[in-house]
Amino acid sequence: MTKETPNPKFDEPVPTTARRSVFENFAARRIEHAFASEPAEPLPTILPLPAGEGRGEGERLLQSQASTSLLQDSIDLALARSFLHRLLACAFADPTEDGWRWLGATETRAAFGSAIRAFKSPSLEATALGFFRQLTPGSLGAFTDDYLAAFGHAARGGCPLNEIEYGELRADPLIQPHRLADLAAFYRAFGLEVGDDASERQDHVSIELEFMSVLAVKEALALEHQLDEERSVCREAQRDFLREHLGRWAPAFGRRLQGAVGDGALGSLGTFLVMFIELECVNFGVPAGGEDVRLRPVDDEAERLCANCGLQSLPPGALAAT
């Protein structure tokens, strides 16, 4: 389902059954191991330690150690961001016993706590704790009921899970196929595409979250190996993707979800999504979408255009340039 070349060091085994999206399991082992209770393998020496004798050696050593510490902090934060995007993607998937068991597992909770602490944000930590307190074995039924009530069985339920359902009420209908084409171009630029067996469109919130998880772990790898150009590409792609896609509509979606289902596990998930995506936008210097991003009116003609517009060859970000 994905054009990424499998790497046994970073990829989990591909399941034999059809996956619900194109990016599931990408870098899962690497991301989770980074926050496991057992110590990870030591990071290879990236910055050379100063050598020689004479005045200034101690200062150079301190500067090198500080640089190494800052580098490791950046790697840890990128991995933390990747894990949280992946966890949110799993949480917004169709509820299953296996998915719920993974979300509530001791290892997942430990990884989640470590990832949250990497942000050094008490408000994010408090919101995350509120969500995870709801993840009890007996709460899956209530979560599923709220999920069906909020999202229904189609793309256009009470709280749509798809980006193109949100937009200006008077927007040109062509904006919808443009957004789908732009998403496909982002994925294609990183060797990924929606497979034939994917059960969702490329604008589904889980797929967009998983794409951000992919970009964040690629950023961490570029940092670890001092690949400045690759890191810049990953950072720029994340910034553009937040500005043009996920950061534009996800906060409005999360707030709408809060209002629809209240304070249960799904409502707490919406609250956490809003705070996390808004923090992501702040960190990347882009504006987060506001509460005024409303549902677009249903337009059957636009739906047909989305499927047959012929714009799939556009480069990433082409929508912003039009």
CATH number, domain with residue 87 = 1.10.3480.10
Looking at residue 263, its pLDDT comes to 87
pLDDT, greater one: 240 or 30: 240
Q: Give the range among 2-16, 125-139, 202-216, 256-270 with minimum mean pLDDT.
A: 2-16
pLDDT in tens, 219-269: 999 999 999 999 999 999 999 999 999 999 999 999 999 999 988 999 999
Q: Is residue 16 part of a domain?
A: no
Range of the domain at 246: 28-321
Place 3 in a pLDDT band, splitting at 50, 70 and 90. Answer: very low
pTM: 0.75
In a domain, 14, yes or no: no
Q: Give me the number of domains the chain comprises.
A: 1
DSSP 16: S
Residue 232 lies in a domain: yes
What is the chain's mean pLDDT, rounded? 77
According to the model, what pLDDT value does residue 252 have? 93
Higher pLDDT, 55 or 44: 55
Give pLDDT tens digits for 92-150.
999 999 999 999 999 999 999 999 999 999 999 999 999 999 989 899 999 999 999 99
pLDDT classification of 66: cutoffs 50, 70, 90: low
In angstroms, the CA 201 to CA 205 distance is 9
Q: Please, how many CA atoms are within 13 Å of residue 225, restricted to the half-sphere of its CB?
A: 9
CA 134 to chain CA centroid, Å, is 21
56 confidence band (pLDDT: 50, 70, 90): low
Question: Is the per-residue pLDDT at 7 higher than 70?
Answer: no
Residue 154 pLDDT grade (very low, low, confident, very high; cuts 50, 70, 90): low
Q: Name the residue with higher pLDDT: 219 or 155.
A: 219
Of the chain, the percentage scoring pLDDT greater than 90 comes to 54
**What pLDDT score was predicted for residue 306?**
45
Q: Is residue 308 part of a domain?
A: yes
Q: Which of 270, 292, 6 is nearest to 167 (CA)?
A: 292
Please give the DSSP secondary-structure letter assigned to residue 12: P
Q: Which has the higher per-residue pLDDT, 167 or 78?
A: 78
Is residue 280 included in any domain, yes or no?
A: yes
Q: Give the residue with greater pLDDT, 226 vs 52.
A: 226
Segment 272-293 mean pLDDT = 92
Residue 52 pLDDT grade (very low, low, confident, very high; cuts 50, 70, 90): very low
Q: What angle do CA 180, 24, 248 make, to 5 degrees?
A: 40
% residues pLDDT > 70 (the chain): 67
pLDDT of residue 104: 93
Residue 280 confidence (pLDDT): 98
The whole-number pLDDT of residue 76 equals 95
Residue 170, number of CB atoms within 10 A of its CB: 7
Q: What is the DSSP letter of 122?
A: H
